[in-house]
Amino acid sequence: MQLEAQIPGGPLETKWERHRVDLKLVNPANKRKFEIIVVGTGLAGGSASASLAELGYNVKTFCIQDSPRRAHSIAAQGGINAAKNYPNDGDSIWRLFHDTIKGGDFRARETNVYRLALVANLIIDHCVAQGIPFAREYGGLLANRSFGGAQVSRTFYARGQTGQQLLLGAYSSLMRQVGRGQVKMFPRREMLDLVLVDGQARGIVVRNLITGEIERHAAHAVVLATGGYGNVYYLSTNGMASNVTAAYRAYKRGAGFANPCFTQIHPTCIPLHGDYQSKLTLMSESLRNDGRVWVPKNPGDPRRPEDIPENERDYFLERIYPSFGNLAPRDIASRAAKRMCDAGKGVGPTGLAVYLDFADAIQRLGQAEIEARYGNLFQMYEKIVAENPYKTPMMIYPAIHYTMGGLWVDYNLMSTIPGLFVLGEANFSDHGANRLGASALMQGLADGYFVIPDTIGGYLASTRFGEVTEGHPAFQEAEADTDARVKKLLRIQGKRTVQDFHRELGHIIWEYCGMSRTDEGLTKARKLVADVRGEFWENVTIPGSQADFNQSLENAGRVADYLEFADLMLLDALARRESCGCHFNEAFQTEDNEALRDDKHMCHVAVWEYAGEGKEPLFHKEPLVFEFVQLATRSYK
C-alpha cells in the first residue's frame, strides 16, 4: 500500500491556492459526461452533492434515512468554528490552525489543518448567503461563543441547533439540484460494497431497505461521506443509524484505515441511567461557556448539591487548568471527571457523574439570558432527567461522541483506492488524536463545499476511464457476495437478538478501549470480542425476511462489521506505544496523569491494510512532518 499524501510544496499559507491552480480542470462541457456517486447526506455528503451538481457533474446520492435531511449531522448542537475575529479578541487563521493542531495532540497533518482553518471563513459566508439563521449581536454582526481548547470566541451558532440549521442549508442546495435533475436521490439505500474495476473505484452495491432488493450503481468516482463509527460502543451520542459498514467494506476492498483507536469521549453527556438504555444524550460543550463543573470535596457526600456550601466544592477543572478552566479540551476534561469519580467523588445514584452548575451565570446574567443561549438544551435535559437545571445543577458524565479515526485520505481527500474519496467524519484527516469542539461541522462543510469540488476535478481530468456499466463482472461478483452475506445472516436463526450482541460488544470496548487503556485490557478485549463474534455467527436471531423492510437485518449487518472492526481498534490501540489526545494508555502518563507522547517513535498516522479473512491486517505508517509548528507538550494549565 502506497501512502502518498500529495502535500504541495511552498509556504503553508499559499499551499492550497497553488495546489488548486496546479489541479487540472474539467471543461464545463465535459462535466456532464461524468457520473459521481456520493454516499451520505450529512453536512459532508449533502454539501458535496450540491456543489458537484452545481458544477455540472451528474450526481447520484444515497442515504439510509427516508430523507437526506435526517442524517446524523442534524443532531449537532453547539456550533461551527471560523476565525473571523468579529469579537476582536486576537483570533486569526493561524491561531485557529494552531489550536486545532495542538488540540489534536500533534497527530494530524499540518497542511490539511491549515487549509481547514483557511476555508472556514468561506463556509460562514456561504452559509449566511444560504440564509442560515446564525445568532447575531444587537448591531447585526454574527455572534460568537467559546469552545474548548481555545482562548478566543470563534464559534458561530444557531442556539443549540447549529447542525440542524446548517443541514437545512445543504439540503436546500441539494434539493435544488434534485429539482434540476442534476442529482438523482436514492434514500433508504444502504451501501454494502464498493466495486473496483482495474483498481479504480467504479461503483457501489446497495440494498434497498424498503424492498430488500440489491442494486448496482456505476460511476466514474465514488465519494463516501458516511459519518463516524462511535456506535461501536453501543451507547453513544450518535444517531442510531450511524455505522462503520460503508467504510469497513471499502477497507476490505483495499482502502487503508487510519488511526481507528482515536475515538472521542465527550465530557458533558447525560449519565447512563439503566441497563436497557439504547442511546446517550449530549449536553453541548457550549454549556461550559457559562456552566461550572464541580464535585463535592468529600468522597461519598450524600447531600443535595444546593446544600453543599461553596468551600466544600471542588471546581476541579478551574483548579487543575486555571488558564482554560471549564473550557479545557474534551479528552482532558473527560479524564479529569473520570479521576474524580474514581476517587469516590462522583455524584448521583451511580456515582458516575459530576455537576455542571449555572447558578453563578444565572446570578450574573439573569435566567432570560441563559434561556436565550441554551434554552432548548435545558429543556431537553429537564425532559430526560426530570430536574430543572435552572434550579439544580445538571449531572453530566463522559460518553463516546466522535471518531477521529477513519479511512486514510491524501491532501485531495482520495483514499488509497484511486477514485474513492472520503469526506467528513468518515475520513481521518484533520483532528489528530482529539477533535476540538465545533470543528467537525467546519471540516464536513470544508470538505464538501470547498475541497472536493476542486480535487475530484483534478482526478477526473487526469485519469483514463474505460467503459464500465452495471453489467460488468465486478458488479455481478459484488452483488453475489452481498446477497450471500444477507442470506447467511438470515439462516442462523439463533436465540440472541442483534441488540444483545451489540450491547455486549459495547461494554467490552468501553471497558477496555475507552477513556483509559492498558495493554493487558486491550489484549483481553481482543479475545472477548473474538468470542462474541464467534457466537454471533452461530446464535443471532433475525426475524422477518430479506424481501421487506427489516431493521433487525440492517442492524445485524452493521453489528457484524463492528465485531470485526472492533478488533482493528484494539490492535491499533496496542500498536500506539504512547498516550496522545484521546488515546490514554496508562503505561504512558506524566506525574500529573496527563498523556505522555513519544514524538520520536510515534509521530505518525497508523494505517491498516486488510490482509484477508482471518489474517492480521498489515501495518503502515505515514510519518507526520511538522515544518511550521513546533511540537510541544500540550498544556492547558
Ligand X SMILES: Cc1cc2nc3c(=O)[nH]c(=O)nc-3n(C[C@H](O)[C@H](O)[C@H](O)COP(=O)(O)OP(=O)(O)OC[C@H]3O[C@@H](n4cnc5c(N)ncnc54)[C@H](O)[C@@H]3O)c2cc1C
Residues contributing to the site for ligand X (CB under 6 A): 39-45, 62-65, 71-73, 75-80, 162-163, 189-191, 225-227, 237-238, 241-243, 245-246, 282, 401-402, 424-426, 438-441, 444
Closest CA to 44 of 23, 63, 19: 63
Nearer Cβ to ligand X (35/314): 35
Nearer Cβ to ligand X (295/556): 556
- Reading the block at residue 220, the C-alpha cell is 466514474
Rg (CA), the chain: 24
Minimum distance from CB of 233 to ligand X (Å)? 12
CA-based torsion, 333, 393, 341, 521: positive or negative: negative
Minimum distance from CB of 106 to ligand X (Å)? 21
Nearer Cβ to ligand X (246/563): 246
The count of other CB atoms within 10 Å of the CB of residue 518 is 14
Minimum distance from CB of 44 to ligand X (Å)? 3
Q: Any bridge partners for residue 607, and if so which?
A: 258, 620
Minimum distance from CB of 243 to ligand X (Å)? 5
Dist. CA 15–CA 46, nearest whole Å: 26
Nearer Cβ to ligand X (40/203): 40
Minimum distance from CB of 203 to ligand X (Å)? 13
Nearer Cβ to ligand X (241/295): 241
Relative to beta strand 406-407, strand 214-218 is unpaired
Sheet holding 189-197, edge to edge: 189-197, 200-208, 214-218
Minimum distance from CB of 631 to ligand X (Å)? 25
Nearer Cβ to ligand X (247/580): 247
Q: Burial, 90: exposed, middle or buried (Cβ in 10 Å; 0-12, 13-18, 19+)?
A: exposed
Between vectors from CA 39 to CA 34 and to CA 40, what angle results, nearest 5°? 135
Dist. CA 181–CA 456, nearest whole Å: 21
- Which residues make Cβ contacts (< 8 Å) with residue 30, sequence separation at least 6? none
Minimum distance from CB of 194 to ligand X (Å)? 10
Residue 393 vs residues 267, 335, 354, 356: alpha-carbon distances, Å: 15, 20, 9, 6
Nearer Cβ to ligand X (445/624): 445
Nearer Cβ to ligand X (38/332): 38
- Which residues make Cβ contacts (< 8 Å) with residue 253, sequence separation at least 6? 193, 194, 196, 417, 610
Nearer Cβ to ligand X (60/597): 60
Please state the φ and ψ torsions of residue 270, each to the nearest 5 degrees.
-70, 130
Minimum distance from CB of 27 to ligand X (Å)? 30
**Residue written as cell 486569526?**
92
Relative to beta strand 604-609, strand 257-258 is antiparallel
DSSP count for the chain of H helices, then E strands: 18, 21
The count of other CB atoms within 10 Å of the CB of residue 571 is 18
Dist. CA 97–CA 505, nearest whole Å: 36
With beta carbons less than 8 A apart as the criterion, state whether 435 and 285 touch. no
Minimum distance from CB of 281 to ligand X (Å)? 7
Minimum distance from CB of 424 to ligand X (Å)? 2
- Which residues make Cβ contacts (< 8 Å) with residue 227, sequence separation at least 6? 40, 42, 71, 72, 73, 238, 239, 242, 243, 424, 425, 426
- Reading the block at residue 408, the C-alpha cell is 486514510
With beta carbons less than 8 A apart as the criterion, state whether 283 and 437 touch. no
Dist. CA 168–CA 127, nearest whole Å: 10
Nearer Cβ to ligand X (161/200): 161
Which entry of 202, 292, 330, 576 is annotated as an active-site residue? 330
Nearer Cβ to ligand X (217/526): 217
Minimum distance from CB of 526 to ligand X (Å)? 26
Stated length of the chain = 637
145-154 residues labelled b (16+ CB within 10 A) or e (exposed) = bbbbbbebbb
Minimum distance from CB of 607 to ligand X (Å)? 20
330 is catalytic: yes
Answer left, alpha or beta for residue 140, where phi above 0 means left and psi between -120 and 50 means alpha: left
- Which residues make Cβ contacts (< 8 Å) with residue 514, sequence separation at least 6? 233, 265, 400
Residue of minimal Cβ distance to ligand X: 42
The count of other CB atoms within 10 Å of the CB of residue 123 is 26
- Reading the block at residue 184, the C-alpha cell is 438523482
Q: Burial, 538: exposed, middle or buried (Cβ in 10 Å; 0-12, 13-18, 19+)?
A: exposed
Nearer Cβ to ligand X (424/617): 424
Catalytic residues: 330
